[in-house]
Structure 1
């Protein structure tokens, strides 16, 4: 074995034991790197007055640039992170440097700067001698790890929640870790009034009353949980908007709140303002697209003229195209865009995009249920192919009967079955659909009658109506 090879092996053993982005099992294939790069740059700009957040953004940017093969730029970002920490975070500075030093050791190793790599390893050794606790149990390291998992991919949300929870247990009063834990739970829990997500949001706001992003997230979560909490929700959102009227994250969530409350035009106005600050945000473009879709639906129900309806649809398509151009694997937006292409009668374009969306969703194992639902609607309303629509609604339903998509598919199937049986009481496809729904949702009656007996005695359509009401809940 050559001397150089021996040095490399020795360094590799030490590097593998570090706590940093390079050892946290963040897989390149799990990350939408261009979109993440854009979001981290936005975070860096937003955190100019918060050195800790800016240092974290620079540290993550360094790893992203490494994944993109830009090692020199990666080194620049990591050195910038080190400088920010040293200049502005005198308290617990060494602990905060652990992740950045780990990344610097790794990047120098990959650049074959073995002397520099060894230098950072020695700095880390000195820190660990000062703080004999394992790095994996230091709150500052756990917090940085949690933020990395939260930022890099939704696939790591469960890991983020676990790491943030441990960080909060070790350092209960730290606003950064409490906020990270709250945001993670917000994204992963449906939530009830006493859910961990709502409790943690309240706790994080209690520790940092100036965090208006958390305040508006709590308002959104409370509104979803119970209409009885409407007054508190509105007050939280109003306070957040008054406190941070130009913060793009506050504005985007307030826009969602307005849309959920039926104030679509107010939502569009708010999201457009947010878009002026963050023009490359795929999140904002997607939310604007959904607002214009809602507006299109409302105009259709009001029997407004076709020009207004088409204009709303075109606006929605524009923002979906912007969202998918910013994030190439934005599966939900791709699926919605394909459906709206279908409504626009761009049928071939829609089919091609659906093919790509199915492929992407299957490869990433994400949002496949949403794609089946939208493709079913495309087949039913755009292609007028009911049999194909039924199959995709059934697939969507069986993938998750109690999800929002599963329930919508069930409701669509009920309507199709009722229509078929109304035309022909012996229609086998209609009966097959109801049998599937009955088996999945269970017996909705108090007695023990089976599906066949229930249907045979359903002269007034009570079974179908009750089933439809059940599945629409």
Structure 2
């Protein structure tokens, strides 16, 4: 590398853009991300700034995929949309795209063009210092929010700063609300930061139907007294955007959590027509059909109906995992359902693969342990192995929904052991471990309503992308 190239690289490293935001491509399925960005372009037609942001991000993703010319094409489209919308007042909005332009041209060895974009950024920075520009922070926050669930906390922190700098900006407020929604693991209350921010974002943009559904789902888990408010928000969202796939996805989750699984399936099937390549919708349909299967079993319905629901759930899980490589949650759920169907060979192989991926990525290992424990307990009838993996789940992520559900399972196992023999050390050891990891759950509160509440929280936590 020549001295001039070293100087150029040093300047590039100081920019605020996708190339400098420490986005690890191993943390995301790149092709799935590109598909989601493409979906965002279609959904935001008429909202030039949102479409421009999607094209700018797509340019970076195309670069990661090795298509530099296509990367430049997306970046040019982003700039054109911003200039069309804001004219001569778009300088602040071009800081990030120009940074990406500079980096792509540098890698293409177009050093003159690279220097040209660096000069443009310098001129903009003379009027707008980069790190004090809310537009840069907002773009950065939305990027983290879109990239991977591992970046949600970073998204929350950055978008909070953007909102503090530009309190009336609807996009930054909406992004901050979604980030809080996804990172808030505490039991829901009407005074929680997520609920407050969702309300604030809706005050600024009362027509945002996606935010209405998120607030409705959150209120559903807060209090029975808020049920009417929750239902009203969801109905308004559905009436306002009956064909918006994001709205229908989350409305369907609302109905599923209310027990209206057939209505949820109906909405998801409709959403799937508009977004046939959505792994999220396939995953949610799989969960709906699994719930339907359980309901049919409880009602002692005909085995053919039960098998049909089971087959449909497995079909949608297979679709979800084929559309998104390393979809760990869906893979572990699919392995569990193979086991329930009696396909133990397929279950074991898929669990082995899923454990390997989760361990390598250090991602969702608690979820895999929990489902493998269920598989061992109910399909294999190996209680010893089930206990081991419930414990691994609990130790890995004690406050997660799977950690909480593992406590419920372990308590029942321990209570059964101690009921048969009060002096059995194994039951006492399990209860001691629970006290060590989750002392808040050692009182006798393992009632059905608690488990149902945990199940609702688990369903909400499975919202992966927006």
Note if 1:355 corresponds to 2:352: yes
Match among 306, 309, 313 for residue 312 of structure 1: 309
Cα distance between partner residues in 2 of 1:438 and 1:122: 61
Note if 1:74 corresponds to 2:89: no
Cα distance between partner residues in 2 of 1:444 and 1:256: 27
Shift of 1:426: 4.5
Note if 1:331 corresponds to 2:328: yes
Cα distance between partner residues in 2 of 1:431 and 1:199: 43
Shift of 1:52: 0.6
Match among 178, 182, 185 for residue 180 of structure 2: 185
Q: 1:10 to 1:440 in 2, by over 3 A?
A: closer
Shift of 1:73: 1.0
Note if 1:134 corresponds to 2:124: no
Cα distance between partner residues in 1 of 2:441 and 2:24: 46
Cα distance between partner residues in 2 of 1:41 and 1:291: 26
Q: Which residue of 2 aligns with 1:235?
A: 232
Q: Which residue of 1 aligns with 2:462?
A: none
Asked if the contact 1:342/1:382 (under 8 Å) is kept, the reply is yes
Shift of 1:360: 1.4
Cα distance between partner residues in 2 of 1:21 and 1:444: 43
Q: 1:427 to 1:25 in 2, by over 3 A?
A: same
Q: 1:123 to 1:374 in 2, by over 3 A?
A: same
Q: Which residue of 2 aligns with 1:101?
A: 98
Cα distance between partner residues in 1 of 2:213 and 2:440: 40
Asked if the contact 2:141/2:154 (under 8 Å) is kept, the reply is yes
Match among 342, 345, 362 for residue 345 of structure 1: 342
Q: Which residue of 2 aligns with 1:457?
A: none
Spell out, residue by residue over 1:303-337, the C-alpha distance to the aligned partner (whole angstroms, 9 max, x if none).
11111111111111111111111111111111100
Shift of 1:89: 2.1
Q: Which residue of 2 aligns with 1:451?
A: none
Cα distance between partner residues in 1 of 2:395 and 2:349: 25
Cα distance between partner residues in 2 of 1:230 and 1:348: 44
Give the secondary structure class of the aligned counterpart of 1:90.
helix
Q: Which residue of 1 aligns with 2:22?
A: 25
Match among 284, 288, 291 for residue 281 of structure 2: 284
Give the secondary structure class of the aligned counterpart of 2:215.
helix
Q: Which residue of 1 aligns with 2:41?
A: 44
Note if 1:117 corresponds to 2:114: yes
Give the secondary structure class of the aligned counterpart of 2:301.
coil
Cα distance between partner residues in 1 of 2:441 and 2:100: 58
Shift of 1:26: 0.9
Give the secondary structure class of the aligned counterpart of 1:193.
coil
- Indicate the larger mover: 411-420 or 324-333: 411-420
Q: 1:468 to 1:212 in 2, by over 3 A?
A: closer
Asked if the contact 1:52/1:89 (under 8 Å) is kept, the reply is no
Q: Which residue of 2 aligns with 1:197?
A: 194
Cα distance between partner residues in 1 of 2:19 and 2:107: 11
Structure with the bigger RCO (C-alpha within 8 Å, sep 6+) is 2
Asked if the contact 2:434/2:441 (under 8 Å) is kept, the reply is no
Q: Which residue of 2 aligns with 1:8?
A: 5
Shift of 1:400: 3.5
Q: Which residue of 2 aligns with 1:156?
A: 151
Asked if the contact 2:78/2:97 (under 8 Å) is kept, the reply is yes
| TM score, norm. by length of structure 1 | 0.91
Q: Which residue of 1 aligns with 2:458?
A: none
Output the aligned Cα RMSD.
1.9
Asked if the contact 1:20/1:103 (under 8 Å) is kept, the reply is yes
Q: 1:136 to 1:442 in 2, by over 3 A?
A: closer
Q: 1:342 to 1:229 in 2, by over 3 A?
A: same
Shift of 1:436: 2.7
Shift of 1:440: 4.0
- Indicate the larger mover: 334-343 or 90-99: 90-99
Spell out, residue by residue over 1:390-426, the C-alpha distance to the aligned partner (whole angstroms, 9 max, x if none).
1111222233344322222122222223333444455
Match among 146, 171, 177 for residue 141 of structure 2: 146
Task: Give unmatched runs, 5+ long, in structure 1.
Answer: 446-462
Task: From the CA coordinates, give the structure whose radius of gyration is larger.
Answer: 1
Cα distance between partner residues in 1 of 2:235 and 2:269: 18
Shift of 1:54: 0.8
Note if 1:245 corresponds to 2:229: no
| TM score, norm. by length of structure 2 | 0.92
- Counterparts of 1:452-471 in structure 2, within 5 Å, are 466=444, 468-469=446-447
Give the secondary structure class of the aligned counterpart of 1:315.
helix
Q: 1:67 to 1:264 in 2, by over 3 A?
A: same
Give the secondary structure class of the aligned counterpart of 1:89.
helix
Note if 1:60 corresponds to 2:66: no
Cα distance between partner residues in 2 of 1:328 and 1:247: 25
Cα distance between partner residues in 1 of 2:445 and 2:79: 61
